[in-house]
Amino acid sequence: MKTERISEAVVRRLPIYLRFLTELSRMNVTTVSSQELGSKLDLNPAQIRKDLAYFGEFGKKGIGYDVEYLIEKIRQILKLDKTIQVVLVGAGNLGRALCNYNAYKQDQMKISAVFDATPDKVGAKIHNLVIQPMDKLAETIRQDKIRIGIITVPAAEAQGVADQFVEAGIEAILNFAPVVLKVPSHVRVHHTDFTAELQSLAYYLD
């Protein structure tokens, strides 16, 4: 593997490759070329080859990539070759939807604990998860060695949750609240703002 820093754009494309390769595997496709990948994913084949080359030599000239082997390698790169526990804070409509979706998804990323600050929600179940009070958050994160957290609370509460995550040892945060979080440099944050995404799409309307 190359020692140079891998860009965020490359890392974000890996799950896209993995999803499509998994679909090919289900159809019993054994090999695929970068041209075929590029055509289906609307990406430049040269970019796909370059992305994968950051992590090793996986393809054979004139043959392409072994689908099962490449799936295995990308899963290893993304650390999906083992179960990764995730904690979610905010048991509102979005939080519940994410928990329910995750419960049925065949994936190594598992929401294993859910928390909310609203007393009326504590003790209720989302699928097989019991909503816990916020005063148990840090203890659960440390005890279960959870490293990824999801925030689905209102904007005014998001920074406070992020602070608790950082204090408890969370290393990566997926933030659905419409606010920019301030965290230490060693903590990775990805923001998902539905409103901003829709507003940017409106620009392209005739």
Task: Report which of 132, 137, 133, 131 is spatially closest to residue 167, judged by C-alpha positions.
Answer: 137
Return d(Cα 51, Cα 73) in angstroms, integer. 13
Return d(Cα 167, Cα 55) in angstroms, integer. 33
**Would you state the pLDDT for residue 4?**
54
Last residue of a domain, one of 46, 77, 108: 77
Q: Which helix (H) or strand (E) holds 95?
A: helix 93-104
Same domain, 89 and 190: yes
Same domain, 64 and 151: no
Same domain, 42 and 90: no
Return d(Cα 173, Cα 24) in angstroms, integer. 31
- CB 115 within 8 Å of CB 131: yes
For the chain, list residues with pLDDT below 70.
Answer: 1-4
**Would you state the pLDDT for residue 105?**
77
Same domain, 73 and 105: no
Q: How many helices (H) and strands (E) does the chain have?
A: 8, 10
Return d(Cα 151, Cα 132) in angstroms, integer. 15
Q: Does any domain span residue 112?
A: yes
Same domain, 88 and 69: no
Using a 10 angstrom Cβ sphere, with 0-12 exposed, 13-18 middle and 19 or more buried, the burial of residue 88 is buried
Q: What is the pTM of this model?
A: 0.85
DSSP 130-187: EEEEGGGHHHHHHHHT--EEEE-S-HHHHHHHHHHHHHHT--EEEE-SSS-----TTS
Host domain of residue 164: 84-197
Q: What average pLDDT is seen over the chain?
A: 93
Q: Does any domain span residue 204?
A: no
113-134: per-residue pLDDT in tens?
999 999 999 999 998 899 999 9
* Rounded (5°) CA angle 188-190-194: 165
**Would you state the pLDDT for residue 48?**
96
Q: Does any domain span residue 171?
A: yes
Q: Does any domain span residue 2?
A: no
150-168: per-residue pLDDT in tens?
999 999 999 999 999 999 9
Residue 17 sits in a domain of what CATH number? 1.10.10.10
Report the sign of the C-alpha dihedral through residues 85, 77, 104, 159, in that order: positive
